[in-house]
């Protein structure tokens, strides 16, 4: 846990919210620029695409965006898509806000908090694609229940994804890979799209690689695409 006082009305959160102290410029980014992009799960518009300043044709969601490289890359490659990113680690949030502001991208909104708060607030079938890329593997067996992909959160993802939408997961941890495949394939709301090992042992054509993938991977990455049936 983070050591902060727990609100009984919120789900228990495991993981880091803060790292090294932000420097002065990044503090200013969080204080001055983040409110422009921030999402309030308690005050969502009835139609979530209305949170953007111009019309978008679909809504995509990334859970645990790290420093935001994939999220920003997808937004640049798909300028007609509204993107929402969830990340409780404020250092990563600050980096994304800085980079989004510098790029002038206007189709990104950010929840600097636990993604479950947003998943529980979104209306049914409003998301076209969801990404959960390289989440914390919580490798110790006694901590496996903390993994984001699992029996607690898959119903949440199934509810907000529209039929025909896709869930993309990625991990470089072999035990988490087996865990993901077991739980997602056991859920009747999802169908695995892989036709063979080559479909999940290499990044999909539209994937945006990040510095983590090129420098910090602990093992062989696998990319899993599932159809919301």
Ligand-binding site membership of 87 (annotated): yes
User: What backbone torsions phi and psi does residue 167 show, to the nearest 5 degrees?
Assistant: -115, 120
Ligand-binding site membership of 140 (annotated): yes
Contact (CB, 8 A) for 64 and 86? yes
Ligand-binding site membership of 116 (annotated): no
Q: Annotated catalytic, 136?
A: yes
Q: What is the DSSP letter of 48?
A: G
Q: Which of 33, 58, 99, 136 is catalytic?
A: 136
Ligand-binding site membership of 62 (annotated): yes
Beta bridge partners of 108: 83
Contact (CB, 8 A) for 20 and 12? no
Ligand-binding site membership of 18 (annotated): no
Ligand-binding site membership of 107 (annotated): no
Ligand-binding site membership of 136 (annotated): yes
Query: H helices then E strands: how many in the chain?
Result: 8, 7
Pick from 220, 209, 162, 170: nearest CA to 190? 162
Binding-site annotation, residues for S-adenosyl-L-methionine: 62, 87, 114, 136
Residues that are catalytic: 136
Binding-site annotation, residues for substrate: 140, 172, 210-213
């Amino acid at each position: 846990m983070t050591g902060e006082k727990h609100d009984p009305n919120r789900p228990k959160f495991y993981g880091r919210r803060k790292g090294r102290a932000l420097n002065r410029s990044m503090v200013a980014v969080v204080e001055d620029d983040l409110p422009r992009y921030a999402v309030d799960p308690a005050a969502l518009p009835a139609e979530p695409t209305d949170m953007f300043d111009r019309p978008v044709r679909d809504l995509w969601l990334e859970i645990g965006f790290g420093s935001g490289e994939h999220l920003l890359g997808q937004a640049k490659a798909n300028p007609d898509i509204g993107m929402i990113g969830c990340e409780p680690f404020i250092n990563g949030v600050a980096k994304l806000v800085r980079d989004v502001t510098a790029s002038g991208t206007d189709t990104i909104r950010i929840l600097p908090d636990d993604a479950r708060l947003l998943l529980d607030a979104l209306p049914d079938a409003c998301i076209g694609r969801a990404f959960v890329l390289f989440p914390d593997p919580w490798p110790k067996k006694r901590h496996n229940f903390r993994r984001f992909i699992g029996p607690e959160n898959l119903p949440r993802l199934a509810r907000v994804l529209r039929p025909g939408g896709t869930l993309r997961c990625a991990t470089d941890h072999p035990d988490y890979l087996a865990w993901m495949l077991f739980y997602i394939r056991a859920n009747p709301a999802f169908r695995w799209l892989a036709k063979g090992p080559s479909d999940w042992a290499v990044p999909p054509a539209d994937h945006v690689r990040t510095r983590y993938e090129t420098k910090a991977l602990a093992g062989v990455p696998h990319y899993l695409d599932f159809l919301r049936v």
